[in-house]
Every structure is written in structure tokens, then in C-alpha cells.
Amino acid sequence: MARATRFVIYVLAVVVPIAIALAVVGTTPSLLEKVPAEHRDTVAAIGEGAVRISGGNGGIFRSQEANAADTTIPGAPRPLHGEWSPRRLEDYPPPAGLVAGVDYSLEVSEDGYVAHWPCDHEIPVRSFDAPPGSEADLAWAVETLAFASGLPLRYLGPGTESDREAEGALSVTYGDHPEFHGTDVAGVGGPTVWPRGLIMRGSVTLRPDQIGPVPGDPWTRSLTLHELMHAVGITHAVPYGPEVMAERPAYPPQVLLGYGDRFALHVVGCPGPPTG
Ligand SMILES: [Zn+2]
């Protein structure tokens, strides 16, 4: 049976420009040390930009077979309970002033639907091998994302081995990744997208040496939020744009959601509680 899982991992190519390293050197002295010697005399961002990896070979994030079968799509999982419905991109025209593919981009499943998580059950977010001082910024990023999107994300703190890459959850690992070797990539993140755009798992891997030891570091926050946004189905806005999802980071790093970010979160998000 063909695997329905599709891993899409986007890479934030960073490059810790020296200006950023200098700006944060007071709180993260380790950053400047990490800037390779040949980069220390340049402020230009270099790197390969976004690398898109498609295909379900499971080589990067281990795949797990779905627990439940959808009756219409053999092998596909279904939300744990309650309602879930596919969304079409054409049903979400951007508001005036925003341009799709420029200010925001959305993950679309191979069969043409907007990738998004179910809204009707909690999405646990757990950390793995988190370095000291990182927890507050991860909690901040999860809260920011939940507040702006309405997604029922909930930061649960460090996970156990059995929670790693769990179905229905978003796993944030601090550690090594093949994409980090010989590159300036600072983190990767992405959802597992099933037919009709159903997301039932998200994975983020952050390079520990890109995480400041003191909470509140703008680069740490921007990177963490960026990769989490990949995991909820948002892809890149144009490089250096005023969006957290810019393909290459602006300077200073964006820690506030841009208009494009906000609209993308609306499309993949969940309606808020009824008002009035
Ligand atoms: Zn990215």
C-alpha cells in the first residue's frame, strides 16, 4: 500500500548575521562563537534558503502507521473524535493588501486541500532534550500560536520517549538533524499531511546552539515560532519580509506576527468561542 504520509520539512536558513550576533551577544555569548570564522566579517545572510523535502521515506522523521482508518480513504487516519472538514484554498481569499505567495503561503495536500489540524481536541506540544533556559521561549511560541490561530495547542513540557513523534501531537526536539550538517540551517519543522489536508502530527527540530540560554532572546523566539508555524501548515513568505514566516529572516528577527502570518493562521486555525 502506498504510504499516504507526506513529510514536508522546511528549513529556515539562518545565518546568524553578525549584526544579530552582536545585538544579542550580551544575553547569548555563545552565539557569536558559533558564527563560523569566515562569516564573521560579513553581515549578509547566506545560506541555501528554504529546502523543501517531499516524499515519505521516513528517513528524517520516522513514520508511524495510523491507528485508525478513514472509511473513505484507506489507510488515512481520522481525527480522534468530532468534526473535521477539508478546506479549499479558494474559500480563503486574502484580504486587501495581502498577496498569496508573497505575504504568506500555505501547505496544500497533494489532492489540493489546505493542510490543517483538527480543532476539536487538544494538540499537545512536548519538548525533547530541551537545553536549559529554552522552556520559556517554547511556551511563549506555543501560546502565541494558539492565541493567534485558535488552534487548541497546549504546551505540556518535556515528553517521555514514548511521546516522541506521537500521533495527534506536536513534538519539538532540540538536537541534531541531517539538514544541519555543513549548512547554516537553524531548524526544521513540518506537518505530516494526509489526504484532504488532515494534519495529525507535527515535528520541529531546533539546533541547540541556536537557542539562547536566557529566555526572551529575539532570535530564539523567532526561530521557535517560525518552525512551529511550519508544523501547523504554513510555508514561506518572501525572504526578508516583515513576517515570522519570511523565507530568510529579517533583521532584527521578527518576533511579532505580520499581517501575512496572521491571515495564514486564520486559514489553518479554528474559530474562536462564540461572542455576544
Ligand atoms: Zn522555514
Ligand 1 centroid to Cα of residue 34, in Å, is 20
Q: CA 123 → CA 1, 26, 110, 219, distances in Å?
A: 28, 35, 24, 25
Which regions of the chain are under pLDDT 70? Answer: 1-83, 273-276
Kindly state whether residue 81 falls inside one of the protein's structural domains.
no
Reported as a single tens digit per residue, the pLDDT across 147-188 is 999 999 999 999 999 999 899 999 999 999 999 998 889 999
CATH value at residue 121: 3.40.390.10
Ion ligand 1 residue ranges (Cβ < 5 Å): 10, 12
Ligand 1 centroid to Cα of residue 227, in Å, is 6
Ligand 1 centroid to Cα of residue 240, in Å, is 12
Kindly state whether residue 57 falls inside one of the protein's structural domains.
yes
At residue 2, the pLDDT reads 37
Kindly state whether residue 75 falls inside one of the protein's structural domains.
no
At residue 125, the pLDDT reads 98
Ligand 1 centroid to Cα of residue 72, in Å, is 33
Residues 6 or more apart in contact with residue 44 via CB below 8 angstroms: 17
Please count the structural domains in the chain.
1
Reported as a single tens digit per residue, the pLDDT across 245-256 is 999 998 889 999
Ligand 1 centroid to Cα of residue 235, in Å, is 7
Kindly state whether residue 80 falls inside one of the protein's structural domains.
no
What size, in residues, is the chain? 276
At residue 274, the pLDDT reads 59
Ligand 1 centroid to Cα of residue 105, in Å, is 11
Residue 74, Cβ density class (10 Å: 0-12 exposed, 13-18 middle, ≥19 buried): exposed
Distance CA 118, CA 67 (A): 16
Ligand 1 centroid to Cα of residue 261, in Å, is 12
Kindly state whether residue 87 falls inside one of the protein's structural domains.
no
Domain interval for residue 235: 6-62+92-268
Kindly state whether residue 68 falls inside one of the protein's structural domains.
no
Ligand 1 centroid to Cα of residue 276, in Å, is 38
Yes or no: say if 167 and 194 are a contact pair by the CB < 8 Å rule.
Answer: no
Kindly state whether residue 276 falls inside one of the protein's structural domains.
no
Strand spans (E) along 107-151: 123-128
Kindly state whether residue 176 falls inside one of the protein's structural domains.
yes
Query: Which element (helix H / strand E) includes 189?
Result: strand 185-193
Yes or no: say if 231 and 216 are a contact pair by the CB < 8 Å rule.
Answer: no
